[in-house]
Structure 1
Amino acid sequence: MSNILKTYDLELTAAGPVYIGSGKEIGKKEYAFSPWEKKISVMDMAKLCQLLNGKNLMSQYEKFMLGNSRDDVGKWLEKNKVLKKEYQKCVRYQLECQDAVIDSRSKLSVLEFVKDAYGMPYVPGSSVKGMLRTILLAYDIAHDFEKYKQIKNDISGALKRNKGRNRNICKRESAAMEYACYRTLNRLQKEPRHAVNDAMAGMIVSDSKPLSVEELVLCQRTELHADGREKKLNVLREALRPGTVIHVTITIDSSICGITKEYLEQALAFFGEMYYECFLRKYPDMDMPFEDSVWLGGGTGFVTKTEVYPLFGKEEGVETVVNLFKATGVPENHKHYLDRKRGVSPHICKVAYYEGKRYQMGLCRAKITKCQ
């Protein structure tokens, strides 16, 4: 059995802010913003209610919560003469937000990072495995193109035939790529595309060990355009700060999954080079990724989550992405029809700032080590 199971440590070092969403939002009335400290304090709402109840402020607080006030809870507490040293006991954790613009006039929510039952951030193994599936599929397309040639033709044909908005266009073809790459087991011969035939069942990726909330910072979504312009959006995310080190364990059952450490490293190197050549090099001051670069989590952009460029290549890929956006009903005011002249599509790279420096969202460096 020990010869069949291969276990590796995957070390991911955040080279940019990494965001993996929990699906929850922290509303403005659940955090206090300190413009002097450049921090927000996320409240433990149960403790806060207990404090306010003891001060006979619950009825006023209910009106605040149900009303249209644009104040954060910190301002409301100050207006109601609740001292900072009192409500500090109700703070769950604090987030640095030196590079995020907190607009007091808007109702900004914070997209929360996924946390365990003890309130500690962690990286789910499913997020890492999803990233690896995308990278391995891209590598397989590049090195066994004949297997995907008909799928490429089917996508081109579907886009040419499309006359209106269809958000599910090419969904069948995308699934066909997954089937061609991964549904290689013969466990259920009558249904070769059934999930039970997926060879990636032989790769188990653990969740990371819990990380500290001190590794979280507040990042503002920023769009870098191909012409060098930047646009900051009113979207705030909890993200792991650059430099955070994440460890997950990869266990491969070699009787099911034929992927080796060397193959995986080659796939990582290919994906980073493809991403740069087909997309990133069109943006000013964006360097060639390292050979071990990966893009993890949310907000990393279209190219890191799809297989258009591995399948169609650089020039034909731009045309295909433009047609996909048109077919799926992306509004005209996004001006993707100009991407043909720009030579890149999408024409926005997702970035974020930390300590005054611009980073690619979700960029990590990966190191794979065999466990003893």
Structure 2
Amino acid sequence: MGVRKLRLDIKVAGLVHIGNGQRYGKRDYFVHGGEIAVLDVRKFVSRLTSDQVSRYCEFLEKGAYDKFGLQGFLTRRENADLLKIAQGSIAYRIDSPIATARRGAIQYHDVWQFMKDAHGNPYIPGSSVKGMLRTALLLNMVLDDAGLRATARVDELATSKSGSANAGKGLNRAAFWKEQPNPNDPSVKNDIMRYVSVSDSEPLSVDSLVFAKKYDKFSKGDPVDHKLDMGKLTLKEGNELDVYRECLRPGTTVSVDVTVDERIDEYLASPALDAQGLSSIFQRAFDFYSERFLNHFESGEGEGSSASGSSDGGCQYIITAGPLAGMRCPNKAVGDTGFCNTHQDKAGQCAASAEVTCYLGGGVDYISKTVTSALFDDEADAVQMVSRILYNQFPTKIDRSIHPTLYSDVQRAGFSPKLFEARRQRPGGRITKAKEDHRHWRDQEIGVSPHTMKWGIVGKDSYPMGKCSITVREL
């Protein structure tokens, strides 16, 4: 058996977030030159005198001027020396708009950070790409195997009803735990994905990062009757949430290398994990995602096929070096060769797949990260199951004395609302919150579950979370 070498060229079409588990807060960034400046704390502290260190520590420990964050601390008259040092100790800048409150004070938000290397440069871990590949491959297996679907439905139903965190583990074992390394012990099985390895991408520039605000877009079938009618102020298309993520901006391109040990072939029905096979796996996953989810939204995301390979008449050569590395040659192909005059010598030397759409990273839609919907031939059955799973995770909580009708509506839909005690500004004062309702009990009525699509807002523009185009080529 041999080894296949592939390269995945990924271009960000929406916003991609791969988190490192940490957040920036009001003490981590300030405004400089109209941009968000993230402070390089190590460099900043290394340039301070003992007196300056004391002032900075007081700000961190006691929360002095904390209401105004780092910006308020640095712009105080007595800290003019610290401001100058901070302006020379910027890790990087984000060209994103930042809201201001009264008197120009910054409206700070916690921002989930993007994965970065030891030098502070963002990159895409190979594990994230391999996870995307694993999900797409599992989806293909499920769609091709009726027996696997039937077995997994029983497992999914049992675990979802109990709220178990083990949902899906049985399906993964059935699909991937196939190799028996020791013939004397049939109980031991290895995961066949060990035959696939994916490299990290090369480090990217911090200029490729933006701060994106979370936006949940409502589906076409959602009546949105839970929204109060406030004229032009009413948001009938979606919810803006006070959640911010550091994301790769649209147009960012990266490449990762995939090594496939051909021993995996004996455990896979079809296709083989070569350039064309891998591309078809991603394409089928996107087509299913489009049919079961995207087509329920007024986004233009689910219309038509995402393939745009040799059929578009363009040269299939992928630039391998320089600032345009990872991008396709912009020239037209000669005849049906698939390559332009400049790259005719590449014809037959490397196989490149068509460009397909995939969804990568965190903050993306439930259906792009799971195969639950594919376990059911009937979409209505899939919606029923997914809505139950999501309701178990995010149940509706209601103060029944304030919202008795809503409480009854949830019960009539076949769900069990949880009791919730209304929160007030003070005892006997104005009510600030009387329910928590993600409305998953209405998903079956709306016709899709979940009934919102995950987007991100940067300035005045919004983009789908995780959307990328991907081309696979053989090396």
TM-score (norm 2): 0.70
State which of 384, 388, 392 in structure 2 corresponds to 1:319. 384
Shift of 1:247: 0.2
Contact 1:70 1:106 in 2 (8 A): no
In structure 2, C-alpha distance between the alignment counterparts of 1:209 and 1:361, rounded to whole Å: 22
In structure 1, C-alpha distance between the alignment counterparts of 2:387 and 2:247, rounded to whole Å: 30
Post-superposition CA distance 1:94-129 (Å, at most 9, x none): 11213x656657652221111111111111000100
The 3-state SS of whatever aligns with 1:281 is: helix
User: Is residue 197 of structure 1 aligned with residue 187 of structure 2?
Assistant: no
In structure 2, C-alpha distance between the alignment counterparts of 1:131 and 1:193, rounded to whole Å: 28
Shift of 1:306: 1.0
Q: Which AA in structure 1 matches 2:203?
A: P
Shift of 1:88: 1.4
Contact 1:19 1:297 in 2 (8 A): yes
Give the structure, 1 or 2, with the largest relative contact order (CA under 8 Å, sep 6 or more). 1
Identity %: 29
Q: What pairs with 1:251-290 in structure 2 (closer than 5 Å)?
A: 251-257=259-265, 259-261=272-274, 262-288=276-302, 290=306
Contact 1:208 1:248 in 2 (8 A): yes
Contact 1:33 1:72 in 2 (8 A): no
> For the structure 1 residues 142 and 102, does the alpha-carbon distance in structure 2 shift closer, same or farther, using more than 3 Å as the test?
farther
State which of 204, 208, 215 in structure 1 corresponds to 2:208. 215
The 3-state SS of whatever aligns with 1:12 is: strand
The 3-state SS of whatever aligns with 1:184 is: strand
Alignment partner, residue 296 of structure 1: 360
TM-score (norm 1): 0.88
In structure 1, C-alpha distance between the alignment counterparts of 2:187 and 2:375, rounded to whole Å: 21
Q: Which AA in structure 1 matches 2:59?
A: F
In structure 2, C-alpha distance between the alignment counterparts of 1:221 and 1:306, rounded to whole Å: 21
Shift of 1:178: 1.0
The 3-state SS of whatever aligns with 2:453 is: strand
Alignment partner, residue 336 of structure 1: 440
Shift of 1:285: 2.6
Contact 1:28 1:108 in 2 (8 A): yes
User: Is residue 45 of structure 1 aligned with residue 149 of structure 2?
Assistant: no
Q: Which AA in structure 2 matches 1:48?
A: F
Alignment partner, residue 179 of structure 1: 173
In structure 2, C-alpha distance between the alignment counterparts of 1:329 and 1:224, rounded to whole Å: 18
The 3-state SS of whatever aligns with 2:375 is: helix
The 3-state SS of whatever aligns with 1:330 is: coil
Post-superposition CA distance 1:119-161 (Å, at most 9, x none): 11111000100011001000111012223312213333555xx
Q: Which piece of structure 1 moves more, 242-251 or 311-320? A: 311-320
Alignment partner, residue 88 of structure 2: 89
Shift of 1:81: 3.9
User: Is residue 350 of structure 1 aligned with residue 454 of structure 2?
Assistant: yes
Contact 1:111 1:237 in 2 (8 A): yes
Q: Which AA in structure 2 matches 1:126?
A: S
Q: Which AA in structure 2 matches 1:113?
A: F
Alignment partner, residue 164 of structure 2: 168
Alignment partner, residue 74 of structure 1: 71
Contact 2:149 2:376 in 1 (8 A): no
Shift of 1:185: 1.2
The 3-state SS of whatever aligns with 2:119 is: coil
Runs of 4+ in 1 over 6 A off after TM superposition: none
Contact 2:96 2:459 in 1 (8 A): no
Q: Which AA in structure 2 matches 1:299?
A: G
> For the structure 1 residues 344 and 102, does the alpha-carbon distance in structure 2 shift closer, same or farther, using more than 3 Å as the test?
farther
Contact 2:38 2:90 in 1 (8 A): yes
In structure 1, C-alpha distance between the alignment counterparts of 2:360 and 2:26, rounded to whole Å: 27
Structure with greater proportional helix content: 1
The 3-state SS of whatever aligns with 2:455 is: strand
> For the structure 1 residues 118 and 110, does the alpha-carbon distance in structure 2 shift closer, same or farther, using more than 3 Å as the test?
same
In structure 2, C-alpha distance between the alignment counterparts of 1:184 and 1:101, rounded to whole Å: 53
In structure 2, C-alpha distance between the alignment counterparts of 1:296 and 1:102, rounded to whole Å: 32
Q: Which AA in structure 2 matches 1:57?
A: Q
The 3-state SS of whatever aligns with 1:72 is: helix
Task: Return 5+ residue gaps in structure 1 as ranges.
Answer: none
Contact 2:17 2:466 in 1 (8 A): yes
Post-superposition CA distance 1:278-313 (Å, at most 9, x none): 111111133226241111010012111111111124
Q: Which AA in structure 1 matches 2:285?
A: F
Shift of 1:270: 1.2
Contact 1:325 1:336 in 2 (8 A): yes
Contact 2:116 2:122 in 1 (8 A): yes
In structure 2, C-alpha distance between the alignment counterparts of 1:329 and 1:317, rounded to whole Å: 18
In structure 1, C-alpha distance between the alignment counterparts of 2:164 and 2:186, rounded to whole Å: 23
> For the structure 1 residues 158 and 218, does the alpha-carbon distance in structure 2 shift closer, same or farther, using more than 3 Å as the test?
closer
> For the structure 1 residues 250 and 27, does the alpha-carbon distance in structure 2 shift closer, same or farther, using more than 3 Å as the test?
same
Q: Which AA in structure 2 matches 1:215?
A: S
Alignment partner, residue 153 of structure 1: 154
Post-superposition CA distance 1:207-254 (Å, at most 9, x none): 111111111111111111224522222222111111111100001010
Task: Return 5+ residue gaps in structure 2 as ranges.
Answer: 223-235, 308-355, 398-436
